[in-house]
Chain A
Amino acid sequence: MPPAGAPGPLDVAIRDKVFTTIDGVRLAAIDAVAFTATPGSFTTLIGPSGCGKTTTLRIILGLDRDYTGHVRLPAADGRIAAVFQEPRLLPWRTVEQNVRLALPEALAGADLDALFETLGLAAMRGRYPGELSLGLARRAALARAFAIEPALLLLDEPFVSLDEATANRLRALLMEVWSARPTTALMVTHNLREAVELSDRIIFLTERPARVRGIHDIDTPRSERDADWRDAAVRAIDARFPGVL
């Protein structure tokens, strides 16, 4: 189902983002980060810990307005969904209530059966988040993000601190729900294998203050990215950008 109105690219240009710490020290978080993401593509930001990846996401989300530069969203007033590092579910609402609360008016009362079924949450709809494992809570956060049919989806290390099997299953689920409806997605991670598996474009950032170190586009269809291909791709990237592994 094509979205109403032709979505444009996500266009981000952030310069000189500075934090002032509690003791009054000024800390340069971002020097210059500029990139675009074509409509319906999956882009990943990779960089060392604390390099300003999450700050970039927060600026795009509109949670931090204190920066120089610009952020142009795919659709001017399109919906944005975020999957944070922690699931950020309301503990006093059930899984289904958490998802429904995020729905915009246009989608109120939407049929969520298929989404819950795909994400394996059908049996968990009436549970409270405190009763879920981290993996299940992350799935609920994914369900919330996709339920609102966003124009832009931001993911902040959504699979961190999960065991590898659970993370793999969740990545597959992410791809399944993401490809069901064209959505521009931007993910932050420090896991290169994950980025290679999921992305159309990988953007490498330097140490803080962040600059774009290089951009790596992947044209291979996701269906052809088997384990051997991934190993080769990771080695190729490691040769091009030493130290990212």
Chain B
Amino acid sequence: MAPDVAAGGRGRPSAGIAPALVTTLSLLGLLAAWWIAAVIADSRVLPTPPAVFDAFWRDAVTGELFYHLAMTLMRVAAAFAIAMIIGSAIGVGLGMDARADRFFDPWLILFLNIPALVVIVLAYIWFGLNEAAAVGAIAINKIPNVVVTMREGARSLDRGLSEMASVYRFGRWWTLRDVVVPQLQPYFAAASRSGIALIWKIALVVELLGRSNGVGFQIHLYFQLFDVAAILAYTLAFVAVMLLIEFLLVQPLEAHATRWRARPA
């Protein structure tokens, strides 16, 4: 038999040092530009990086910053889970049923175009200023996007593979797990990617309008105090959290799910 058996396994070769270096240089450049601009402007409304770090440290040592980060993160996670589950179910359903799709398509376009602010305000009016209304409002803003992406995925399911599964009597569960879900995975990944970024931005507005904690609430507070350094400190802290999630959770999961793909023969 072929002697190249041992070649199985192992991912692609490491990306090398150069891309990491470029990323670091790029971020340092941005920091430098900000610093220079802040020094030249010499104004309260554009603080220097050390001033922002001071503001960060002030709220970090009291634990206040981490409490508000955690509250926002909790809302983002809950809304994300709800939006992905409901949005995927609706999207796959519409993708597989052309008649339902034709009927509900106008609804989808309507929901896609309702401004986030309107959904939030109505949710608070109808369901009160509570956590369920807040998380629900965030999720509803995201669901139509998930539906559109997942519907595209369901429409492009490979008929040949479904027929193969039916001939070989895979049954419902195996067909779903081994034939349908892997085909939807890239669409799911795309929906989650754009989802996390969108959801946390909406979460801040929700907190600003009707919650008494979270990053959005703190930013509102510091806005009234005109404390730009603290606003930037909270923003950057949360962006850092989201980047950690991206690099430590989303990317490894995705690499695992698509490990069959990028291995040139």
Contacts and interface: CB of A to CB of B under 8 A. Distances in A.
Interface of A: 61-63, 79-82, 84, 86, 88, 90-93, 101-102, 104, 120, 122-124, 126-128, 130-132, 144, 148
- What bracket does the count of chain B residues touching chain A fall in? 20 to 34
A124 B6 CA distance: 10
A90 B180 CA distance: 10
B169 interface: yes
Contacts of A102: 168, 170
Given A90-B178, A101-B178, A122-B1, A130 B261 contact: yes
A123 B167 contact: no
Contacts of A86: 160
A70 B161 CA distance: 26
B50 interface: no
Contacts of A148: 168
Contacts of B161: 88, 90
B8 interface: yes
28 contacts: A61-B167, A62-B167, A63-B163, A63-B166, A79-B169, A82-B167, A82-B168, A84-B163, A88-B164, A90-B161, A90-B178, A90-B179, A90-B182, A91-B260, A92-B260, A93-B178, A93-B260, A101-B174, A101-B178, A102-B170, A123-B1, A123-B4, A123-B5, A128-B263, A130-B261, A130-B263, A131-B263, A144-B168
B174 A63 contact: no
A92 B182 contact: yes
A86 B168 CA distance: 16
Interface in B236-265: 260-261, 263-265
A47 to B, nearest CB: 22
Contacts of B4: 123
Contacts of A79: 169
Given A86-B160, A130-B260, A130-B263, A81 B168 contact: yes
A193 to B, nearest CB: 28
A88 B160 contact: yes
B2 interface: yes
B8 A126 contact: yes
A82 B182 contact: no
B167 A81 contact: yes
B163 to A, nearest CB: 5
Closest 9 CB pairs of A and B: A102-B168, A131-B265, A88-B164, A92-B182, A128-B260, A123-B1, A126-B8, A92-B260, A123-B5
Contacts of A61: 163, 167
Contacts of B163: 61, 63, 84, 88
Nearest to B265: A131
Nearest to B5: A123
Interface string B211-234: 000000000000000000000000
A46 to B, nearest CB: 23
Contacts of B168: 81-82, 101-102, 144, 148
Contacts of A128: 260, 263
Given A82-B164, A88-B160, A101-B168, 13 more contacts: A63-B163, A63-B167, A82-B168, A84-B160, A84-B164, A90-B161, A93-B178, A101-B178, A123-B2, A128-B260, A130-B263, A131-B264, A148-B168
A160 B178 CA distance: 27
Nearest to A86: B160
A131 B10 CA distance: 14
B265 A101 contact: no
Contacts of A88: 160-161, 163-164
Nearest to B168: A102
Nearest to A61: B167
A132 B265 contact: yes
Contacts of A84: 160, 163-164
A165 to B, nearest CB: 17
Task: Among B168, B169, B261, B265, find the residue whose CB has the most chain A CB atoms closer than 10 A.
Answer: B168
B164 to A, nearest CB: 4
B22 to A, nearest CB: 30
B64 to A, nearest CB: 46
A88 B168 CA distance: 12
A148 B169 CA distance: 11
A132 B4 CA distance: 13
